[in-house]
Chains A and B, each alone.
Chain A
């Protein structure tokens, strides 16, 4: 279940369509209006509302909410979590994509399906599984307690849950990309005497760097924004186990709407940044693709 694994390019195919295979101007205008209205109601208005609500009580309240020690500690926790989870999943994504795209082996499709699993699991259940394993009443609960190790309602639990939820992102972005590129370039490099990491570093990585970057930023956006799974394992201890999204929830439930939306606006900016990077990557790949297809021609 691709969570954004598709990078679509808007080609110039739309430019010239003979009139018998397109709709009349009226129909076109109606369809475009429907699409725009839908997007405004479902996506654009909510985004705008975040900033409007955040500044409703003035810039002072806005910045005070961001400077609040609890907000800062939530930000720190969110960053820490992402710094651990994202590299782990990146390494995994590269390893999985390498094995799957460069070699033939039995059970490959099953492996791909299994990698998709976390997409199919409700975030709440993702949190639940770790509570069941490491919680006080959990599978390893007693043993952990005996050794005075606290995983649940602490940083390790939050990291585990986040890693679980964002597990497939990099892999799902890289697998189709590397499958499409095949093994010829790597085999050529190997035949020229390149070995091990040299092949990856000098041949594969330059080919996949943009896809990899997109996978990583998307993974990062989700890691920083995860709510359900983290909510289950965090225990909501203010200033200790609250991530940014959990902090937003608490403020919201305490009717501190302006503060809540102020913190939310940070995450909106992160999302916008993510999409800008994505557009940039698409623009790069589009700009490069003619030269690539010319390469393929001979």
Chain B
């Protein structure tokens, strides 16, 4: 195992930033550390880097405990949220900084920096200063600078947060490709789930200092293990009394348990459009939001409000329209764990009379 963390704890005053976090990471993986702002992601990352000292717990890199190794000697590359470029140094000198510290020969530095300039597409910009670069270019310089000393592990703290939306998308794709080419183990922090899902090989979901779940994006999406993960990933509606929804009346739901319903679990349409009309119930369209590629519907079903998607190709609906609503499945939340329950009526359809 390349990186291993055992029972890590860190408090700032009375605030517990990281609580009993343990995980393992394989070599060459790109890990997304995802969670709400202020949830302890950055503290975790900074402890790996050695920028913060854990109160207790151990960090192993290549099987070696590094708790007492100074950050300068851990061989970790770090990309800061605001890049933290050296303002008074040219792009070349920024990238070369880590190499000059290691007393690398001039020729070697030149070669390595050249290599990174090509890799990051910054060739031609090496004599510019940070204030003469765009946000995306600065990000690339920060990246090249961190990579120059050939670190074993690359840590990125909210690497795309300071870049505007359009460039951010390009940069994500570019970064994913680059990291997979280099094969360097990388961990990046983000609070943006789309970013994590798109870029990461594996995600660590962190909330209030605790590690909620670790797994591939698909795994986390389809099989959330805790209430928090089920609610945090996707855009779910909360249903206070799942038994009030058609199809779930008799399912074994503990009393008092809530349910989460994702928009993609909900099918909405005129009665004839629905696959299993008998499993559907009546609802009313409250609002319709145009979301570019699709429509988002706000539906009232009994006492519950659900969010659903509808294709632009389908027959248009109006607010106030009476519709059929079929809930394919939902997550039942009890005791902080999440269980997926399929709509039983759908599996065993009743005869259809037209």
Please say whether the chains A and B touch (CB closer than 8 A). Answer: yes
Is A18 on the interface with B (CB-CB < 8 A)?
yes
Is A20 on the interface with B (CB-CB < 8 A)?
yes
Is B71 on the interface with A (CB-CB < 8 A)?
yes
Chain B proximity of A133: nearest CB distance (Å): 47
**Chain B stretch 27-55: residues in CB contact (< 8 A) with chain A:** 50-53
Chain B proximity of A52: nearest CB distance (Å): 46
Between A and B, 10 residue pairs with Cβ closer than 8 Å are A16-B12, A18-B51, A18-B52, A18-B53, A19-B53, A20-B50, A20-B51, A20-B70, A20-B71, A20-B72
Band of interface residues on B: under 10
- A19 to B51, alpha carbons, bound, how many Å? 8
Chain B residue at smallest Cβ distance from A19? B53
- A18 to B54, alpha carbons, bound, how many Å? 12
Chain B proximity of A129: nearest CB distance (Å): 41
- A227 to B19, alpha carbons, bound, how many Å? 65
Chain A interface residue count, CB cutoff 8 Å, equals: 4
Specify which chain A residues have a CB less than 8 angstroms from the CB of B12 in the assembled complex.
16
- A18 to B51, alpha carbons, bound, how many Å? 7
- A16 to B46, alpha carbons, bound, how many Å? 15
- A20 to B72, alpha carbons, bound, how many Å? 9
- A266 to B71, alpha carbons, bound, how many Å? 56
- A18 to B42, alpha carbons, bound, how many Å? 14
Chain A residue at smallest Cβ distance from B70? A20
Specify which chain B residues have a CB less than 8 angstroms from the CB of A18 in the assembled complex.
51-53
Chain B residue at smallest Cβ distance from A21? B51
Specify which chain A residues have a CB less than 8 angstroms from the CB of B53 in the assembled complex.
18-19
Chain A proximity of B222: nearest CB distance (Å): 39
- A18 to B47, alpha carbons, bound, how many Å? 11
- A20 to B76, alpha carbons, bound, how many Å? 15
Chain A proximity of B51: nearest CB distance (Å): 6
Specify which chain A residues have a CB less than 8 angstroms from the CB of B52 in the assembled complex.
18
Given contacts A20-B70, A20-B71, 8 further A-B contacts (CB under 8 A): A16-B12, A18-B51, A18-B52, A18-B53, A19-B53, A20-B50, A20-B51, A20-B72
Which 7 A-B residue pairings sit nearest by Cβ, starting from the closest?
Answer: A20-B71, A18-B51, A18-B52, A20-B70, A20-B51, A20-B50, A20-B72
**Chain A stretch 6-57: residues in CB contact (< 8 A) with chain B:** 16, 18-20
- A19 to B68, alpha carbons, bound, how many Å? 13
- A16 to B13, alpha carbons, bound, how many Å? 11
- A19 to B53, alpha carbons, bound, how many Å? 9
Chain B proximity of A15: nearest CB distance (Å): 11
Specify which chain B residues have a CB less than 8 angstroms from the CB of A16 in the assembled complex.
12
- A285 to B51, alpha carbons, bound, how many Å? 33
Chain B proximity of A21: nearest CB distance (Å): 8
**Chain B stretch 64-85: residues in CB contact (< 8 A) with chain A:** 70-72
Q: Which of B12, B51, B72 has the most CB of A within 10 A?
A: B51
Chain A proximity of B14: nearest CB distance (Å): 14
- A20 to B53, alpha carbons, bound, how many Å? 10
**Chain B stretch 148-171: residues in CB contact (< 8 A) with chain A:** none
- A203 to B51, alpha carbons, bound, how many Å? 46
Specify which chain B residues have a CB less than 8 angstroms from the CB of A19 in the assembled complex.
53
